[in-house]
Amino acid sequence: MAISRRALIRLGVGGSLLLLAGGAGLAFQPSRLRAPSIPLRALDARSISVLAAIVDRLLPPRPGFPTPAELRIAERIDAFLADGDPAVAADFRRALLLFESGLAGLVFEGRSAPFTRLPPDEQDRVLHAWRTSAWSFRRMVYRAIHGLCMATYFTCPETFPGTGYPGPSRLGESR
Amino acid sequence: MNHPRVHHRLDEDLEIERDVCVIGSGAGGAVVAAGLASRGLSVAILEEGAYRTRVDFRMDEGEAYRTLYQDRGLRSTTDLAITILQGKAVGGSTVVNWTTCFRAPDAVLRHWEREFGLRGWTPEALARHFEAVERRLSIAEWPEALANPNNRVLLEGCRRLGYAVGPLRRNVRRCENTGYCGMGCPVDAKQAMHLTYVPDALESGAELFACVRAQRIEVERGRAREVLGLAVDPESGRPTGWQIRVRARALVVSAGALNSPALLLRSGLDDGKVGRRTFLHPTVAMAAFFDHPIHGYSGAPQSIVSHHFADRGEERMGFFLETPPIHPMLAATASPSFGAAQFEVMSRLSHMQALIALAIDGFLPGDEGGRVTVDREGRMRFSYPIREPLREAFRAASVEMARIQLAAGAAEVRSLHLEPVIVQSERDLEKLERAPYGAHRHSIFSAHQMGGCPMGEDEEVCVVDSELRHRRVENLYVVDGSVFPTSLGVNPSETIYALAHRAAERIAPALR
């Protein structure tokens, strides 16, 4: 589930080119921005919009489970990143912009629209493409984003009933 | 933890002088500090983590990983391929480990003697050290009858297949089977260092500085003169601006594998050997689903072990099999699916069972494991190439784990590949044979970090000698799992306790 310090920019020429593509690709079409429910501390308006869009597809509405928006998962991740190493937050921001990039999307998936402007089934296709890519770099980025989103969502007590997890034992109350 | 000699945080710069400064308070540091203090030496312990106790352990995965693990739970190899679970607290990884205890296998000690010239590390010579720590930490076999259903799958599956399997030993007293060992024991059953050897050291006069990161050791004319520690915020880990300088007649580095070699490298003690030969017991897992509940989050996380595949001959890497606890965060992050498929997995959490296979790295010719380096800011970086012998071990282990789970009655077995392999019968095992293995092909973990400062008399390889003394700095010792010249082939904590117990005995006379 980890994304380590500066790891995303240490992967040689291929990674660097993709990062450049991510930056340039944003110029194709603006992102669909979402207003965060709290002031941001680590991410910016664009990256948290991308994150929220990804989380929505990683964890789409499901009976018995709260939605990521209800749990403010993107905002929780922003807070987690803000309290840690700034270099990790910077790497994570870059990873999100790669997902968003229209240029990178054109190269790898044949789509020029930013991730946030794609319909849900197209977004799922992009996620699947990153997860199963022949390029290790893309699988790494998928795992890093996936891990942080899953960790944040499934540690929320509101998800426990859906998983059958009893949560912390009552021992805690008597100590 | 209120104790007059525990400093929870620095709020001024300090300069002190002691006989010994011990860096780290985990399995190595706590035991050696207690041993040195009990022999009348003045000891200062520096620990990067905070002093948290059971009242702080909320049985909340998110909070536990953020506050009790290195890098707030995000530690990994630099390519993110291997997730590294390593504790950061007063008590080190013993606060969050799963309590499994083994003595170092005789064959491993013989290998170290033969290949690295290690002297005085025979099973006979170590026996009294093992006995001492076993008494202090209440290490005893966990009755097979108390194995939870998660562990029982390993037991029953192996027995049906004729594989060697049996109960293991744990360092617990009056364990209530809560299942929260990995988040800090909420009932003080686990005999972790913050409850045992750290208080022992304090009672003998040692002083503990928590939330202090050892930044650099100053060396002059072949002697360590002092250590510079930076006070850090317990939540973020960022320096607060205060610092401590400890002058000491001897320095003991016990910051754990990965951090100990990084400290030596930051201190300019790079002789081309430090940080090399770092091993992980790289671990793959297999999830299974049963028709009946497993409740893998409850009960002793590990109570059964199989070393049936530990020795696979001289050309293949061995592995051993255990179980992990199955709490939602670990399960969800290990399972790489998304959308409906991920919810399908997580909705069956209470029926999920899991096995782990820990590869025994460092024994095959040419297997030098990974390498610790530091970046320009002095931060630890760790690379670990996944070569073919390890991929082969992952493949063989995945097949065997699935076979065991099926033999125990699993309705479905699911690999942790990015494209999961689903196995429902023996016929499906060949799908696991064909699946890809390696970096970012599936989840890989490590909870056992070893090596980086190997011990022995082979000057080409070893950073410290058989007495754990640095080869070039006469009053500098390394006392933790970083001195293992290979991995151990069993859970390493008890061997680290014992080597630290031995080290205190050897270091103290030199300071009188």
- List per-residue pLDDT tens for chain B, 512 residues long: 789 999 999 999 999 999 999 999 999 999 999 999 999 999 999 999 999 999 999 999 999 999 999 999 999 999 999 999 999 999 999 999 999 999 999 999 999 999 999 999 999 999 999 999 999 999 999 999 999 999 999 999 999 999 999 999 999 999 999 999 999 999 999 999 999 999 999 999 999 999 999 999 999 999 999 999 999 999 889 999 999 999 999 999 999 999 999 999 999 999 899 999 999 999 999 999 999 999 999 999 999 999 999 999 999 999 999 999 999 999 999 999 999 999 999 999 999 999 999 999 999 999 999 999 999 999 999 999 999 999 999 999 999 999 999 999 999 999 999 999 999 999 999 999 999 999 999 999 999 999 999 999 999 999 999 999 999 999 999 999 999 999 999 999 999 999 999 999 999 999 98
- Whether residue A127 lies inside any domain: the answer is yes
- Among A6, A143, A164, the residue with its CB nearest the CB of B350 is A164
Interchain proximity B59–A84, CB inside 8 Å: no
Cα B199 from Cα B23, distance rounded (Å): 16
> In chain B, what residues touch A153 (CB-CB under 8 Å)?
332
- Whether residue A58 lies inside any domain: the answer is yes
- Residue B310: CB partners within 8 Å, gap ≥ 6? B318, B319, B320, B360, B489
- Among A57, A146, A163, the residue with its CB nearest the CB of B347 is A163
* Backbone torsions φ then ψ of B271, nearest 5 degrees: -110, 20
**Does A8 have pLDDT greater than 60?**
no
Size of interface A-B (CB pairs under 8 A): 158
**Does A7 have pLDDT greater than 80?**
no
* Backbone torsions φ then ψ of B7, nearest 5 degrees: -105, 105
Give the N- to C-terminal CA distance of chain A in Å, as an integer: 32
Instruction: Transcribe A115-146 into DSSP letters.
Output: GGGS-HHHHHHHHHHHHT-SSHHHHHHHHHHH
Fold of the domain spanning B144-169+283-360+387-443? Cholesterol Oxidase; domain 2 (3.30.410)
Cα A166 from Cα A173, distance rounded (Å): 15
A54 contact B CB<8A: no
pLDDT of A108: 83
- Whether residue A11 lies inside any domain: the answer is no
pLDDT of B78: 95
Interchain proximity A154–B328, CB inside 8 Å: yes
CB A157: neighbour CB atoms within 10 A?
12
Residue A170 pLDDT class (50, 70, 90 cuts): low
Domain count for chain A = 1
The interface pTM score, or ipTM, of the predicted complex is 0.95
B451: enclosing H helix or E strand: strand B450-451
- Among B58, B72, B329, the residue with its CB nearest the CB of A168 is B58
Q: SS3 sequence, B6-32?
A: EECCCCCCEEEEEEEEEECCCCCHHHH
A161 contact B CB<8A: no
> In chain B, what residues touch A158 (CB-CB under 8 Å)?
none
Amino acid (1-letter code) at residue A20: L
* Closest CA of chain B from A158, distance in Å: 12
**Does A12 have pLDDT greater than 60?**
no
* Closest CA of chain B from A126, distance in Å: 12
> In chain A, what residues touch B327 (CB-CB under 8 Å)?
165
A139 contact B CB<8A: yes
Look-up of token digits 């203090």: B37
* Closest CA of chain B from A112, distance in Å: 23
Domain regions of chain B by residue span:
12-138+179-272+473-510, 144-169+283-360+387-443
> In chain A, what residues touch B298 (CB-CB under 8 Å)?
166
Mean pLDDT in chain A? Answer: 85
Q: SS3 sequence, A143-159?
A: HHHHHHHHHHHHCCHHH
> In chain A, what residues touch B370 (CB-CB under 8 Å)?
none
**Does A4 have pLDDT greater than 50?**
no
Token code pair at residue A137: 């770099």
> In chain A, what residues touch B58 (CB-CB under 8 Å)?
168, 172
Rounded alpha-carbon distances, angstroms, from residue B240 to B104, B213, B232: 40, 11, 5
| Whether CATH 3.40.50.11740 fits B12-138+179-272+473-510 | no
Token code pair at residue A110: 């044949």
Closest to B369 (Cα-Cα) out of B8, B143, B77: B77
A23 is in which domain, residue-wise?
16-158
User: Quick one: DSSP state of residue A169?
Assistant: -
* Closest CA of chain B from A164, distance in Å: 6
Interchain proximity A2–B71, CB inside 8 Å: yes
Interchain proximity A172–B58, CB inside 8 Å: yes
Token code pair at residue A87: 């270099």
Give the N- to C-terminal CA distance of chain B in Å, as an integer: 32
- Whole-structure pTM over 0.80, yes or no? yes
pLDDT of A1: 37
The half-sphere exposure of B235 on its side-chain side, counting CA atoms within 13 A, is: 6
Interchain proximity A84–B440, CB inside 8 Å: no
> In chain A, what residues touch B71 (CB-CB under 8 Å)?
2, 4-5, 84-85
3-state secondary structure of B289: strand
pLDDT of A110: 84
State which residue of chain B sits closest to A165, comparing Cα positions.
B350
Cα B263 from Cα A76, distance rounded (Å): 33
- Residue B262: CB partners within 8 Å, gap ≥ 6? B255, B275, B372, B374, B378, B379, B380
Query: What interhelical angle do A45-58 and A73-82 show, nearest 10?
Result: 130
- Among A153, A162, A168, the residue with its CB nearest the CB of B59 is A168
Q: Are B200 and B191 in contact (CB under 8 A)?
A: no
- Whether residue A175 lies inside any domain: the answer is no
Residue A116 pLDDT class (50, 70, 90 cuts): very high
Interchain proximity A3–B80, CB inside 8 Å: yes
- Whether residue A165 lies inside any domain: the answer is no
Look-up of token digits 């790295």: B361
Closest to B118 (Cα-Cα) out of B500, B467, B470, B501: B467
Interchain proximity B440–A136, CB inside 8 Å: yes
User: Quick one: DSSP state of residue B480?
Assistant: S
